[in-house]
Amino acid sequence: MKPIYMDHAATTAVSEGALQEMLPYFSEEYGNPSAVYSYGQTGKNIVEKCRERVAKCIGAFKTEIYFTSCGTESDNWAIRSACRLRKDKGKHIISSEIEHNAVRRTLEQLEEDGYEVTYLKPNKDGQISVEQLEEAIREDTILITIMLANNVVGTVLNIKELAAAARKRRILFHTDAVQAVGHIPVNVHQLGVDLLSISGHKFNGPKGSGVLYCRIPLRLPAYLTGGGQEKEGRSGTENVPGIVGLTHALEENTKNLEENAKYLNEQADRMTKSILELPGVTQTGDKDSRLPGFCSFVVDGIQHSVLLVNEMNSRGVCISSGSACSASSQEASHVLLALGYDKQLAGCSVRVTLGMDNSPEDVDYATQMLKVSIEKIRSEQVSRAPRLEGRVTDIASENK
């Protein structure tokens, strides 16, 4: 039996429509868009058409869309180039404690280069207040980067209000919208952000495709230098099939946002309600402002979520312990720690992210299996308690 895939926040399958539109650009219309002959011009034309189509989906102008290779690249480009652009104004950046590693690691590297970063602590739901942000702003603040939706607990943050506070002080605002675009309505001008990152494979587009939105008239310094593609900003021959696939998938998802969200939320609510019947299970993230189909919990009495993920895998259901990048890590999630959970609970976070390919029967089966798995692991741990106790103490003392 094919496993049931319930880790759509990690990645998604390329949609049939996106695949069909991509196919000719691999082996028939394969010209380099920079070339002047007809093959090249076909490539150039489709890339420009896609720029327009993507812009329409997020309420942007065509000239504000830059194609990249992934969400990580978009985050890196936005943050590093914003710093270069504002280098005469200061070296202070504001972010949050719950960002994806694509932002965290970039900021850490900038700190090594002499930048100072203030990481705002969210409340238990994963929200950051305007007052907190305003308090952190300094004369030398050049950039604020706070995500639109969190990849571990599914909270959708109040970016519109936060970006408005930044704009009042003329500070650049970037948001990592990798988990949000294609799943909730995103209109860049309504949000009021200067920079926004998108990744194609999170909404049924292909891996290796991304977008950076950059508000005009802002012009970011080049991130990749070379042949001058993407208006000199991001050199490198365009990934034409990837751009086509991302565009098709984004259009498809944008058209069906409301209908998809209704279905996914119904399924997620049923699963969440049932899982919360178990003692010692707590829902994480914001209950009222969350991504559609996003179920996230911390489970007490289990040593690490990897045990649960493995147990579910053996029962034919693919779920996650948090972000895909740290799925195999035994460390507690930095997001859960930031939300105030203790080390034990933060180490046992579970993320089930549903997609339109999950039937109600799949959801019911997975819910049942999750409950059985939690109870099984808990009872095994109790029967092995003396050995585990020793290990827990060892781990605890190592971490001091």
Interface positions with ligand PLP (CB under 6 A): 70-72, 75, 100, 102, 147, 151, 176, 178-179, 199, 210, 323-324
Nearer to ligand PLP, 244 or 281 (CB): 244
Answer for the pair 151, 100: CB distance below 8 angstroms, yes or no.
yes
Nearer to ligand PLP, 43 or 154 (CB): 154
Work out whether strand 349-353 and strand 294-299 pair parallel, antiparallel, or are unpaired: antiparallel
Q: CB of residue 340 vs ligand PLP: minimum separation in angstroms?
A: 20
* CA 102 and chain centroid, separation: 9
Nearer to ligand PLP, 145 or 373 (CB): 145
Q: Which position's Cβ is nearest ligand PLP?
A: 71
Q: 138: exposed, middle or buried (C-beta count within 10 Å: 0-12, 13-18, 19+)?
A: middle
Active-site annotation holds for 318: no
Nearer to ligand PLP, 22 or 102 (CB): 102
d(C-alpha 70, C-alpha 197), whole Å: 9
Q: CB of residue 178 vs ligand PLP: minimum separation in angstroms?
A: 4
Answer for the pair 159, 35: CB distance below 8 angstroms, yes or no.
no
Q: CB of residue 126 vs ligand PLP: minimum separation in angstroms?
A: 12
d(C-alpha 70, C-alpha 56), whole Å: 20
Query: Is the peptide bond between 221 and the residue preceding it cis, with omega within 30 degrees of 0?
Result: no
Q: CB of residue 182 vs ligand PLP: minimum separation in angstroms?
A: 12
Backbone angles phi, psi at 116, to 5 degrees: -115, 130
Nearer to ligand PLP, 100 or 304 (CB): 100
User: Which of 50, 57, 83, 325 does the annotation list as catalytic?
Assistant: 325
- Cβ-based neighbour number of residue 397 at 10 Å: 8
Q: CB of residue 225 vs ligand PLP: minimum separation in angstroms?
A: 21
In the three-class reduction of DSSP (H, G, I as helix; E, B as strand; rest coil), residue 24 is classed as helix
Side-chain half-sphere exposure of 164, counting CA atoms within 13 A:
9
Helices (H) and strands (E) in the chain, counts: 15, 12
Where in the sequence numbering do the catalytic residues fall?
325
